[in-house]
Structure 1
Amino acid sequence: MTDRPSEAPGSGSGEGGGPSISDEVWEKFVQDSERDIHASAPKEPSARARVVTERLRQQDARGAQPEGWRTGPAWREMDGRAARRRRLWAIFGVPLAIAVLVVANKPSLLLGDDPGSGTGVPEAVAASPLPAETAAPTAAPSEMAPVTPTLERPFAGSPSARWADGAAGIVLPKATAVSSLSKAEVEQALRQTKALLVDANLDPATLRGERPETALGVIDPLQTEMIDLLDTALRKPDKEHDPLWMFSRYDPAELRLAGDVVKTRGRMTFKADREDSVVVHADFTFVYPFVRTDGSTEVSRTIVRRVLDLEVSNPVEYEVTPGKLYVVSYDQEIGNSACDTYDGYLHPQFSTDEQAGPLPTGPTMDPYDRSEGIDQERTDDCGVVSRT
């Protein structure tokens, strides 16, 4: 955070004759100033930008249209409800410019102060784990001071540094009887939902591209359209059958995890839906620190948010498989992964990568902001993440 300027004597009330400025007002002033400086500063195009500009100019001259970058939606209709996908590319120049401004105004951040808050609080205190999430966040996590992630500290500079590791971040609510379902039946549905989330997003074999048998095994086999879609996506991924809609995967020939930890945060709730049915709602974000397998040590994070609604019904009243879950809807936002690549793998952007294709034209979003639901009114333009 930028240091406050000295207050002019006699300019207002308060101790020492200076004006009294609240922390909230000062923080807003700093954020607005940094944004205005960034917006108004003259920019010299990078070599990459000049190449892209020239290529687009040549395409216009030929009347050619470049491939689009997507933020979704890729819609799949299931019983009147929709599943969507959104991917957002990382543009490193935006957070880098902000980082330069912050460090320039507070160089002590480079001298051992806490990278999480820039307040000088010892790092061990600032990095203490957050308590489990019990309600929807009301705002995005605070901006972090600029810290480059490393193999030893892959979550440095990320709000997820204080999140739980892996499955520990998926905390089940206390089960109660709902409708005609007993407490034990609801508890089983909650445990199965966690099993699906863990296998689909955290299991090392699934992440390396292997078949997620546990996740598939909790889905009601009577939901044949859903099973067929996922089977096809896993066998032969393409634009209309993308395993990333449900599973997090990377190509082990291209990437590996930096360490063995994936950060997780979110919450799970349940409620009665129709008579004799309960819907489990899961909203979780996973942060994956990747490093390339070419010997590079640069770490790049991909952030995946998944929102699922899974239904369990009384088999006496409905034609369902006892002990299995029915996928009502699934929704995703993937931050920092190539938008127009449909090979079934996550492809994070590294700062040293060459830009392959047109620059993103969609909106900028914070992939750590879980205070609102996933936007249902979206264009087909690839968006940009404000941080990773």
Structure 2
Amino acid sequence: MSEKPSDDQPSAPQIPDDVWEQFTRDTERDIRSSAPKEPSARARMVTERLREQEARGELPPGWRTGPAWQEMNGRAARRRKLWAILGVPVAVAVALVALKPSLLPGDPFGTGESRAAEASPLPEETAAPTAAPGASDPEEPTLDRPFAGSPALRWADGEAGIVLPEAEAVGPVSADRVEQALKLTKKLLVGANLDPKTVRGARPAAALSVLDPQQPELLDELDTGLRSPGREHDPVTLFSRFDPDEVRPVGDVIKTRGRMTFKKGSHGGVAVRADYTFVYPVVRADGPTEVTRTIVRRVLDVELADPTRYRVTPGRLLLLDYDQEIGNSSCFVYDGYLHPEFSSSASAGPSPSGPATDPYDRSKDIDQGDDDDCGTVTRT
């Protein structure tokens, strides 16, 4: 009884080196011999004489079917074997392309690579844009692609969109102090607009911890708005908050775009201006999967003042001014939350009376219009 071959033995015989070398030599010789050559003068004379003999009937029939044709068939057979050997990696390549057509350059089959290119991230914003973003594909947002059809599709995610400028000394204020002011401003923006607890309606504790308690009037107003919101004290003027009983965020991504600048402050320190837009995709809390987006642009002016010259708290920011522009939220509702509107349901608020605006247009200053206006947005 023969032994069972071991598992580590090859399943197919290997080609010996000497056989492979002989095969290579034969192939090269055949290629050289089969290459077209310019016939010599003697060869042309012989060919002409044979043609004349054939015309006179002096050659036997079938003289052209001799060994020369057999040799040609032999070379053809070797070429077929060569193609079979080369055909193995070719077949593998074809199979790979069939499984993943994107391996071919240029996406010839239209597999969607162009969509990925269109969604490539934008470079950071270092200056005010000169115009609004161009038109996007007219796609409806979905749970899987909540930013489809929005310019924000190419914006950075969350904190990644808040890129601090390089800190430099401003007059007597050192670069380290400038860097501290920039980082505190970012902490305020994150806590007020990106913190998941804040967005879901909780108290924005992280953002409030950055503000100087030596501004008691400001903090009292913010606390009043968070406890008992109303028209005069509405926390959404500084914080992005949604009613968890009404809507819930789609996924964990909030798109962010903007810039931060700094200059010498009026309180012996460094003044920072932050201008950022945040895009929030949400669905109704009661189950339907229709996705809508609310767009919030905020402009803040803060200062890290000099504690040796002014009565301020070291390491805290003075909030000097803040403004906002909100796209796709019900007008004249002062309950402390943003209220996105869905295209499938009619708005319960008043009819639009103000101008139509593009909430993605960051090339203009925030419009200081009449508080009684309720405008429309051109896109969400």
Q: Deviations 1:3-30 (Å, cap 9, x if unpaired)?
A: xxxxxxxxxxxxxxxxxxxxxxxxxxxx
Q: Deviations 1:110-152 (Å, cap 9, x if unpaired)?
A: x9798xxxxxx81111100011111111100001121000000
2:274: which partner in 1? 282
Change (3 A) 1:298 1:370: same
1:211: which partner in 2? 203
**Residue correspondence of structure 1 range 152-171 to structure 2 within 5 A:** 152-171=144-163
1:320: which partner in 2? 312
State the one-letter code of the partner of 2:251.
G
**Residue correspondence of structure 1 range 320-359 to structure 2 within 5 A:** 320-359=312-351
**Could you say what secondary structure the match of 1:122 adopts?**
helix
| 1:254 paired to 2:246 | yes
Q: Separation in 1 of the partners of 2:349 and 2:132?
A: 30
**Could you say what secondary structure the match of 1:303 adopts?**
strand
Q: Are the counterparts in 2 of residues 179 and 275 from structure 1 also a CA contact under 8 Å?
A: no
- The alpha-carbon deviation at position 359 of structure 1 amounts to 1.5
Q: Separation in 1 of the partners of 2:151 and 2:347?
A: 27
2:264: which partner in 1? 272
2:181: which partner in 1? 189
- The alpha-carbon deviation at position 273 of structure 1 amounts to 2.9
- The alpha-carbon deviation at position 239 of structure 1 amounts to 0.8
Q: Deviations 1:146-170 (Å, cap 9, x if unpaired)?
A: 1000000000000000000000000
Question: 1:236 pairs with 221, 228, 231, which one?
Answer: 228
**Residue correspondence of structure 1 range 174-185 to structure 2 within 5 A:** 174-185=166-177
**Could you say what secondary structure the match of 2:183 adopts?**
helix
- The alpha-carbon deviation at position 377 of structure 1 amounts to 4.3
| 1:291 paired to 2:283 | yes
Change (3 A) 1:317 1:363: same
| 1:222 paired to 2:214 | yes
State the one-letter code of the partner of 2:330.
A
Q: Deviations 1:286-327 (Å, cap 9, x if unpaired)?
A: 000010112101000000000000011111111111111000
Name stretches of at least 5 consecutive residues in structure 1 with no aligned partner: 1-110, 115-120
Name stretches of at least 5 consecutive residues in structure 2 with no aligned partner: 1-108
Q: Separation in 2 of the partners of 1:357 and 1:245?
A: 19
How many corresponding residue pairs? 272
Q: Are the counterparts in 2 of residues 290 and 299 from structure 1 also a CA contact under 8 Å?
A: yes
Change (3 A) 1:328 1:256: same
- The alpha-carbon deviation at position 354 of structure 1 amounts to 2.3
Q: Separation in 1 of the partners of 2:219 and 2:322?
A: 14
Structure 2 length-normalised TM = 0.69
**Could you say what secondary structure the match of 2:116 adopts?**
helix
Question: 2:192 pairs with 181, 200, 211, which one?
Answer: 200
Q: Separation in 1 of the partners of 2:325 and 2:259?
A: 16
Larger Rg, first or second structure (1 or 2): 2
Percent identity (aligned):
63
**Could you say what secondary structure the match of 1:194 adopts?**
helix
| 1:148 paired to 2:140 | yes
**Could you say what secondary structure the match of 1:309 adopts?**
strand
Q: Separation in 2 of the partners of 1:212 and 1:175?
A: 27
Whose helix fraction is larger, Structure 1's or Structure 2's?
2
Q: Deviations 1:149-202 (Å, cap 9, x if unpaired)?
A: 000000000000000000000000111111322111111110010001001000
Q: Deviations 1:189-238 (Å, cap 9, x if unpaired)?
A: 10010001001000101111111111111111000111001111111111
Q: Deviations 1:249-302 (Å, cap 9, x if unpaired)?
A: 011111111111000000001001336222100000000001011210100000
1:128: which partner in 2? 120
**Could you say what secondary structure the match of 2:218 adopts?**
helix
2:361: which partner in 1? 369
Q: Which runs of 4+ in 1 moved over 6 A?
A: 111-114
Deviates more, 1:296-305 or 1:348-357: 348-357
RMSD: 1.6
Structure 1 length-normalised TM = 0.68
State the one-letter code of the partner of 2:249.
L
2:102: which partner in 1? none
State the one-letter code of the partner of 2:244.
P
Q: Separation in 1 of the partners of 2:117 and 2:331?
A: 37
**Could you say what secondary structure the match of 2:258 adopts?**
strand
Q: Are the counterparts in 2 of residues 291 and 297 from structure 1 also a CA contact under 8 Å?
A: yes
Q: Are the counterparts in 2 of residues 160 and 287 from structure 1 also a CA contact under 8 Å?
A: yes
Q: Are the counterparts in 2 of residues 364 and 386 from structure 1 also a CA contact under 8 Å?
A: yes
Q: Deviations 1:25-72 (Å, cap 9, x if unpaired)?
A: xxxxxxxxxxxxxxxxxxxxxxxxxxxxxxxxxxxxxxxxxxxxxxxx
Q: Are the counterparts in 2 of residues 179 and 278 from structure 1 also a CA contact under 8 Å?
A: no
